[in-house]
Amino acid sequence: MSLPHAILTSLLEKPGSGAELAQRFDKSIGYFWQATHQQIYRELARLEERGLIRSAAREATRGRKRDFAVIPAGLAELERWTSLAQDPQPVRDALLVRLRAAAVIQAGTVQADTARAGILRAELARHRELHQRQLSFYQAVEAHDFAAGSEARAPGTPDHRLQHAVLRAGIMFERAWVSWAEETLRTLEP
Amino acid sequence: MSLPHAILTSLLEKPGSGAELAQRFDKSIGYFWQATHQQIYRELARLEERGLIRSAAREATRGRKRDFAVIPAGLAELERWTSLAQDPQPVRDALLVRLRAAAVIQAGTVQADTARAGILRAELARHRELHQRQLSFYQAVEAHDFAAGSEARAPGTPDHRLQHAVLRAGIMFERAWVSWAEETLRTLEP
DNA sequence: CTTGGCATGTAACTGGTTACATGATTGG
DNA sequence: CCAATCATGTAACCAGTTACATGCCAAG
């Protein structure tokens, strides 16, 4: 149940149309909650029907831009949702499934399979690179928006600190992935 | 597309019925890929139809146990899938959405909202505890199965090292969550 | 006035969740 | 033989993905 609330958050920050939201999702909330434009349009329709947002234009016209804004009931819903206790979501990662599968295949193979092991190492190295790139990007954002004496709008305010905490979570994950990949590559060296 | 392969992996390790798989998912592959028994039954039916696994009993009888085993085509499919290049999945976490929502609400609030800030801190502390517990659990597994001179079946073999790498990923994530939560709690102190 | 791209939308499907139903097996 | 539990299954729904269709608008 996060998508509607992610949309409410983004609209609260700045009203806009479905296409604008889709773009914004590609470069802010989308870093930790993704959505395609189809999901966004569907969700906007539901949010309007539930009376949590309102669009300027009365009727939906295909092709014509339609701006949405959060109305008080929507803000109340967002406040309610953020105050709820929600358990952490368990990890769900395909690479780990693949490693476990590789382990089981290995165990059932009589001879050492060097070709397979090489593919695995290459894949780990590739993931290390991708996570390293994402990490560098997050660090650049941090330097730009959150460093002492930066251009940030309102440094030191509670909301500024919260935004920073979210970014730091991203940094932490990427760092963890990078060092895990390095460590794993070392233990799998030929 | 990970669930069918997670099931193939589990069945390759040890053939079994849908219910047994559901139990095993609760305590091994399920640590990084969850599935309910309904998903598992649905997927077992598809895998059998695709000719990747085979059940002992000819027909499905409601209530009667049905054991499945991977057949060669299933092993081939698993080998194919593990050799594929797959990009890392982007982070998707509701807590981070909630923090961002809280930041936006804060920014729009005139006076500091101490009640809301307290709820947030309590939630962060709760998550820290839960992640700490999961971390301790993983560490206990590591000590039991992977420590030098442990009771592990085949220490030092490639599959043993892969299994360990998967476990270390879990440890790393939980550690990252715990230290992030601690850091964030410090910056949000009243 | 037409073409390209922007904005919105429909349709069909897959994956995951929740609620519930029913047959088989076993311990008392 | 009956209740509890195990094992399998159906149904309906929600979330996410992919492919495609259509209307608007502005630049050339």
Return the CATH number at B46: 1.10.10.10
Whether B164 contacts B146, CB under 8 Å: yes
Alpha-carbon A157 to chain mean position: 24
Tens-digit pLDDT string for chain B (190 aa): 899 999 999 999 999 999 999 999 988 899 999 999 999 999 999 999 999 999 987 666 777 899 999 999 999 999 999 999 999 999 999 999 999 999 999 888 877 678 888 999 999 999 999 999 999 999 999 999 998 766 666 677 888 999 999 999 999 999 999 999 999 999 998 7
In degrees and rounded to multiples of 5, residue B151 shows phi and psi of: -90, 10
Residue B73: per-residue pLDDT: 96
Residue B150: per-residue pLDDT: 66
What residues form DSSP beta bridges with B16?
A: B68
List the single residue in A105, A166, A187 with the smallest CB-CB distance to B99.
A166
Q: How close are the terminal C-alpha atoms of chain B, in Å?
A: 45
At A112, the pLDDT band (50, 70, 90 cuts) reads low
Distance from CA of A62 to the nearest CA of B (A): 30
**Alpha carbons B139 and A115: distance in angstroms, whole number:** 32
At A107, the pLDDT band (50, 70, 90 cuts) reads confident
B117 domain residue, yes or no: yes
B64 domain residue, yes or no: yes
**A100 pLDDT above the threshold of 80:** yes
- Specify whether B109 is located in the same domain as B69: no
Q: Which helix H or strand E contains A70, and what residues bound it?
A: strand A68-70
Mean pLDDT, rounded, of chain A: 91
Helices in A26-157 by DSSP H: which ranges? 37-49, 72-83, 94-108, 114-146
- Strands A53-55 and B68-70 turn out to be unpaired
Distance from CA of B162 to the nearest CA of A (A): 6
Q: What is the percentage of chain A residues whose pLDDT exceeds 90?
A: 76
Alpha-carbon B19 to chain mean position: 18
- Specify whether A33 is located in the same domain as A109: no
Q: CA nearest A33 in B: which residue?
A: B92
- Contact (CB<8Å) A31/B91: yes
Q: Strand C: which nucleotides have any atom within 7 A of a protein Cβ? A: 6-12, 15-19, 22-25
How many other C-beta atoms lie within 10 A of the C-beta of residue A163?
22
Q: Which domain holds residue B33?
A: 3-83
B77 domain residue, yes or no: yes
- Specify whether A54 is located in the same domain as A101: no
- Specify whether B60 is located in the same domain as B144: no
Q: Considering A83, A115, A150, which residue would you say is the last residue of a domain?
A: A83
B158 domain residue, yes or no: yes
B88 domain residue, yes or no: no
Distance from CA of B135 to the nearest CA of A (A): 13
Total domains in chain B come to 2
List the single residue in A32, A95, A112 with the smallest CB-CB distance to B97.
A32
Q: CA nearest A112 in B: which residue?
A: B158
At A58, the pLDDT band (50, 70, 90 cuts) reads low
SS (H, E, C) B143-176: HHHHCCCCCCCCCCCHHHHHHHHHHHHHHHHHHH
* Structure tokens given for A37: 């434009």
Smallest CA–C1' separation from A21: which nucleotide? C7
Whether A91 contacts B31, CB under 8 Å: yes
- Specify whether A178 is located in the same domain as A100: yes
